[in-house]
Amino acid sequence: MTTAFWCVLIAICLPYVCTSIAKFRSGKFGARANHDPRAFLDALEGMPRRANAAQLNSFEALPAFAAAVIIAHLSGHAQQVTQDVLAVMFITARLLYIVCYLADWAKLRSLVWFASLAIIIALFVVSA
C-alpha cells in the first residue's frame, strides 16, 4: 500500500480524533449525553464546540481528498513519490487546521484550509 493510501486512512481517522476532543474536553460527556450525542455536541461552547466544528469540516474534506488520491493513482500520470508527498502535505495541513481551530486562530485556520484545498487540486492536476 502506498503512503498516499495510508494518508487516506489517517484522514478517515481525523474526524474521530476531533469528536473525542469535543466530547471529553467538555467534561460533561457521559451515558446520558450518549443517548443524543448530536444534540450534546450542538450545545457545547468554547474549545469543545470548535473541536466539533473541526470534526464536521474534516468529514467534509475527506471525500475530495480520497477521490484525488485514488484518481492520481489510477491515472498513472503522476509519479508515486509526488502523490505521496502531496498526501503527506494534506495530512500535515489538516492537522495544522485542527490545531488552529482548537486554538481559535481563525485567520490562520482559513489560510490552512485553503492550502489543503490547493493540495487536493494539485493531486488532480498532476493526474492530468
Give CA–CA dist 47/107, Å, rounded. Answer: 16
Rounded to whole angstroms, the Cα distance separating 103 from 100 reads 5
d(CA 36, CA 123) in angstroms, rounded, equals 38
User: Using one digit for the tens of pLDDT, what is the confidence trace for 7-42?
Assistant: 999 999 999 999 999 988 877 766 566 777 888 888
pLDDT higher at 39 or 3:
3
CB count within 10 Å of CB 8 equals 20
Cα–Cα distance for residue pair 96/65, rounded to 1 Å: 16
What domains, with CATH codes, occur in the chain?
3-127 (1.20.120.550)
Mean pLDDT, residues 50-72: 97
pLDDT band at 118 (very low <50, low <70, confident <90, very high): very high
Report the predicted TM-score, pTM, of the whole model to 2 decimal places.
Answer: 0.93
CA distance 54 to 62: 12
